[in-house]
Amino acid sequence: MGLNCLDKGFVVWLTGLPGSGKTTIARGVAERIRGMGYHVEVLDGDWVRKTINPDAGFDREGRRRHLLRVAWISRLLARNGVIVLASFVSPYRAVRSEIRRIVEEEVPFIEVFVKASVEECIRRDPKGLYAKALRGEIKNFTGISDPYEEPEDPELVIDTEAENPEESVQKLFNYLIEKGFLPKN
């Protein structure tokens, strides 16, 4: 099957607590979009911090710089026809507003709040980070020693405590089709 090319892509920014399901959803949606023949990239915090931003800190300003770099990369990819699924805790509303401004100068931006309680994320704790943060081994950990400011008006809310991963993926995928970002097949 050949690839379908978009003149311009768009950026879906998944925000939520660590362990809320952001990257799982992003990867699931990316797989479906690739199956439609489109170029898609998943950018997630772990990969970006290992490769592009290994010097990024976890204090407020370090997080801000890290996320603004990702916003510019996302914009660059999307303006060249790539669909970007960005999976980042991005805990501060003001920084998410900056990200939106950067991206929307050229391409559509969709903020998705991946909602799960701190208690549920602690229960899941896929990387053991909450346990370390609760023991004081990790400083500035979102949800424990650093705040997470929930989005006030995201385009979509996905509640991963109320939905299983497949339902969450389907919800975002359906949204992209319903809003005309992806064609109805």
Please tell me the distance from the alpha carbon of residue 48 to that of residue 43, in angstroms, as a whole number: 7
Residue 49: which residues within 8 A CB-CB, separation 6 or more?
Answer: 56, 66
Residue 76: which residues within 8 A CB-CB, separation 6 or more?
Answer: none
With H, G, I as helix, E, B as strand and everything else as coil, classify residue 69.
helix
Catalytic residue among 90, 117, 145, 168, which? 90
Please tell me the distance from the alpha carbon of residue 13 to that of residue 71, in angstroms, as a whole number: 9
Determine whether 90 is an active site residue: yes
Please spell the DSSP secondary structure of 88-116, one letter per residue. -----HHHHHHHHHHHHTTS-EEEEEEE-
Please give the positions annotated as active site.
90
